[in-house]
């Protein structure tokens, strides 16, 4: 029987993958040097490593920035970064999850010492030499850290039976590199044409278009027998605007689009139309009224539902340990900082407790690739620890069942969920599902009813928070530095909804205070979930877990979330002092 064309094609692809694996000089160099190191690496009378892992990230990247129809930056680049993970001791107690205050005070360089730049050429000897030097450096540091960690534990007389590293099955996965999918000239044309929209809006003080494309190829091998190669491409287009009203109140907004292929992004004419709509809304906000204070029901619709869920709730689902230190005061300070800057406190002590209403459940599924035709960008078959990914049911009927974990256990989660993405655990594709839901019209009716019951003349609908994860983090950090406390999230698109259905834009509105506990008071959700995609800011404690990720890029996560109606949220008007607006009008107004 003659083989079918499809079977013949599959065999050719398989043969191509196998041929690439055999000809992969960097991977061969990594495996050979790792084999030698795990056998021979040992200082006299000192412990040998019990675990070694090597990683190389090769990234082809192009970044284009544009403003007012002109390109301000256009830079393609190619880089290789290598990472070495050395663990000394054993699975129960090793050199990880420890920080010495003197070394941290010296600039914290030790946290990044596992990462260095590698050669771009496939020079077998040079690659082995670079991994040899990096391994030697990390082994010496590991010995010092383990000795100091043991001494710190001895002084405390404290016993902690949670292992430092979990044992997981070994596996191998081979994937060939992807070819670049975007021409640099096309990237510049898109950025230039979108940025030209702002030439006709002199009221906008600042505007920018940033178009990034990354094509990454990862090689990984460890001493337990696991190895993988993996391709990953990400497009990110960000369109940002800033202006001020007469009293100096800053008004800003941004649109972010992500994709793994170019067709995931809207066509250029749609992007331009979306940009013009954002500008129109910003200009209306300049003359909109504000509110001094609001306490009552708030409905988060569309992107705002995904934004508030990602920024205020999802980060608590990561299993990250507080690092041990030679100064116990550091751990107390670190936990406080994690609560304020790390997206709220962890749910580690809430497993078995209710964190959402009984009608809501949450799962993380890296095996899903799309939702109703919309691509999900957290899809993967293997995580950065070479652990096979799988669906994890995090919350069932409001009750927290587990957390997303790496090979660094916490007391309630002894094994990895296949969730290392970047420096620590991160979601992939989060699905918030409900046993009951309402249409958009029913949600508005329920919102108004609850507002009337509170004696309010109007209710609040939020449709955009704006800025993304990185911007939200920076705003929070600035508020902490200025006032010594946690700042609220600035809301880009807020409406007062009146009983007759009339909507009125409101400017300068912030969430006064919101914690993950507020999500237990969700009273209703919509029946049409949307896909919200954004970068994920890992919890700071992951930096001390020795996870390998030479890349500085944040993982991209997709959230499938319905509209969320909260029974009680506190909103306030943004408070100054604000910088003074420009004295003279923009020269664009005279053209």
33-57 pLDDT per residue, tens = 999 999 998 877 889 999 999 999 9
Quick one: pLDDT at residue 112? 61
Task: Find the distance separating the first CA and the last CA of the chain, reported in whole Å.
Answer: 75
List all residues 6 or more positions away from 196 whose beta carbon is below 8 Å from its beta carbon: 68, 69
Q: What are 129-156's pLDDT values in tens digits? A: 999 999 999 999 999 999 999 988 888 7
Residue with the two structure tokens 């509110």:
291
- Strand, coil or helix: 23: helix
Distance, CA of 438 to CA of 451 (rounded, Å):
17
Mean per-residue pLDDT, 203-208: 91
Q: Which residue has the higher pLDDT, 411 or 453?
A: 453
Distance, CA of 588 to CA of 570 (rounded, Å):
39
- Which residues are paired to 66 by β-bridges? 71, 209
Quick one: pLDDT at residue 540? 61
Closest CA to 434 of 396, 393, 390: 396
Q: Is the pLDDT of residue 344 over 90?
A: no
Quick one: pLDDT at residue 338? 61
Token digits for 276? 């013009």
Mean per-residue pLDDT, 270-285: 94
Q: What are 69-79's pLDDT values in tens digits? A: 999 999 899 99
Neighbour-count burial of 287, counting CB atoms closer than 10 A to its CB (0-12 exposed, 13-18 middle, 19+ buried): exposed
Q: Which residue has the higher pLDDT, 551 or 117?
A: 117
Q: Is the pLDDT of residue 213 over 60?
A: yes
Token digits for 43? 């200082």
Distances (CA, A) of 22 to 26, 143, 147, 165, 385: 11, 35, 41, 31, 23
Residue with the two structure tokens 């569309």:
302
Mean per-residue pLDDT, 569-585: 82
Distance, CA of 529 to CA of 371 (rounded, Å):
10
Confidence class of residue 107 from pLDDT cuts 50, 70 and 90? very low
A 10 A CB-CB count for 512 gives 15
Residue with the two structure tokens 């970044």:
63
Q: Is the pLDDT of residue 475 over 70?
A: no
Q: Do strands 360-364 and 392-396 pair parallel, antiparallel, or not at all (unpaired)?
A: antiparallel
Distance, CA of 223 to CA of 373 (rounded, Å):
40
**Among the ranges given (152-156, 210-214, 551-555), the one the predictor scored with the smallest mean pLDDT:** 551-555
Quick one: pLDDT at residue 310? 94
**Among the ranges given (88-102, 337-351, 558-572), the one the predictor scored with the smallest mean pLDDT:** 337-351
Q: Is the pLDDT of residue 481 over 70?
A: no
CB 560 within 8 A of CB 339: no
Most confident of 196-205, 385-394, 469-478: 385-394
Q: Is the pLDDT of residue 4 over 80?
A: no
Q: Is the pLDDT of residue 158 over 70?
A: no
Q: What are 350-379's pLDDT values in tens digits? A: 999 999 999 999 999 999 999 999 999 999
- Which residues are paired to 289 by β-bridges? 506
Q: Which residue has the higher pLDDT, 300 or 20?
A: 300
Confidence class of residue 473 from pLDDT cuts 50, 70 and 90? very low
Confidence class of residue 9 from pLDDT cuts 50, 70 and 90? very low
Distance, CA of 236 to CA of 187 (rounded, Å):
11
Q: Which residue has the higher pLDDT, 12 or 450?
A: 450
CB 249 within 8 A of CB 212: no
CB 258 within 8 A of CB 236: yes
Q: What are 486-503's pLDDT values in tens digits? A: 344 468 899 999 999 999
Query: What percent of the chain is modeled with pLDDT above 70?
Result: 83
Q: What is the pTM of this model?
A: 0.90
Q: Is the pLDDT of residue 12 over 80?
A: no
Distance, CA of 552 to CA of 423 (rounded, Å):
9
Q: Is the pLDDT of residue 16 over 50?
A: no
A 10 A CB-CB count for 138 gives 22
Q: What are 496-523's pLDDT values in tens digits? A: 999 999 999 999 899 988 889 999 999 9
Q: What are 232-243's pLDDT values in tens digits? A: 999 999 999 999
Quick one: pLDDT at residue 55? 95
Token digits for 444? 């508005």
A 10 A CB-CB count for 457 gives 9
Token digits for 472? 């939200």
Quick one: pLDDT at residue 254? 92
Token digits for 433? 């599902």
């Amino acid at each position: 029987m003659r083989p079918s064309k499809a079977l013949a094609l599959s065999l050719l692809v398989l043969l191509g993958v196998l041929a690439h694996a055999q000809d992969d000089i960097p991977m061969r160099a990594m495996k050979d040097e790792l084999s030698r190191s795990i056998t021979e690496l040992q200082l006299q009378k000192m412990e040998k490593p019990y675990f070694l892992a090597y990683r190389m990230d090769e990234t082809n990247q192009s970044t284009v920035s544009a403003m007012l129809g002109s390109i301000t930056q256009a830079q393609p680049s190619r880089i290789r970064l290598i990472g070495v993970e050395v663990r000394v001791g054993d699975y129960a107690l090793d050199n990880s999850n420890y920080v010495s205050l003197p070394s941290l005070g010296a600039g914290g360089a030790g946290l990044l010492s596992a990462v260095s730049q590698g050669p771009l050429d496939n020079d077998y000897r040079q690659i082995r030499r670079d991994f040899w030097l990096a391994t030697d450096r990390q082994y010496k540091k590991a010995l010092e850290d383990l000795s100091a960690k043991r001494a710190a534990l001895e002084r405390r007389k404290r016993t902690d039976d949670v292992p430092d590293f979990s044992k997981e099955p070994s596996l191998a996965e081979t994937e060939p590199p992807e070819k670049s999918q975007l021409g640099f000239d096309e990237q510049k044309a898109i950025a230039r044409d979108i940025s030209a929209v702002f030439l006709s809006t002199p009221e906008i003080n600042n505007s920018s278009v940033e178009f990034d494309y990354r094509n990454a190829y990862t090689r990984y091998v460890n001493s337990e027998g696991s190895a993988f190669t993996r391709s990953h491409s990400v497009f990110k287009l960000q369109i940002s605007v800033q202006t001020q009203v007469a009293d100096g109140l800053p008004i800003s907004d941004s649109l972010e689009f992500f994709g793994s292929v170019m067709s995931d992004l809207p066509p250029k004419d749609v992007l331009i139309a979306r940009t013009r709509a954002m500008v129109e809304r910003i200009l209306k906000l300049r003359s909109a009224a504000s509110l001094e204070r609001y306490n009552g029901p708030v409905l988060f619709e569309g992107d705002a539902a995904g934004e508030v869920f990602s920024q205020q709730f999802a980060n608590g689902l990561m299993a990250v340990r507080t690092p041990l230190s030679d100064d116990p005061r550091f751990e107390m300070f670190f936990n406080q900082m994690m609560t304020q800057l790390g997206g709220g406190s962890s749910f580690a002590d809430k497993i078995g407790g209710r964190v959402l209403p009984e009608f809501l459940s949450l799962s993380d599924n890296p095996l899903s690739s799309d939702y109703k035709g919309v691509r999900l960008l957290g899809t993967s078959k293997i995580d950065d620890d070479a652990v096979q990914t799988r669906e994890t049911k995090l919350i069932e009927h409001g009750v927290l069942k587990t957390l997303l974990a790496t090979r660094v256990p916490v007391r309630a989660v002894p094994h990895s969920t296949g969730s290392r993405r970047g420096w620590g655990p991160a979601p992939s594709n989060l699905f918030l599902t409900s046993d009951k839901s309402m249409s958009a019209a029913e949600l508005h009716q329920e919102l108004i009813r609850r507002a009337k019951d509170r004696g309010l003349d109007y209710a609040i609908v939020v449709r955009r928070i704006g800025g993304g994860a990185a911007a939200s983090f920076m705003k929070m950090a600035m508020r902490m530095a200025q006032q010594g406390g946690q700042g609220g999230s600035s809301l880009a698109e807020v409406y007062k909804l009146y009983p007759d259905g009339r909507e009125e834009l409101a400017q300068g509105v912030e969430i006064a205070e919101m914690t993950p506990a507020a999500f237990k008071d969700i009273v209703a959700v919509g029946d049409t979930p949307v896909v919200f995609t954004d970068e994920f800011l890992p919890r700071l404690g992951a930096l001390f877990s020795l996870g390998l990720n030479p890349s500085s890029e944040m993982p991209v996560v997709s959230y499938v979330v319905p509209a969320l109606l909260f029974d009680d949220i506190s909103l306030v008007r943004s408070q100054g002092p604000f910088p003074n607006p420009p004295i003279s009008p923009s020269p664009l107004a005279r053209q």
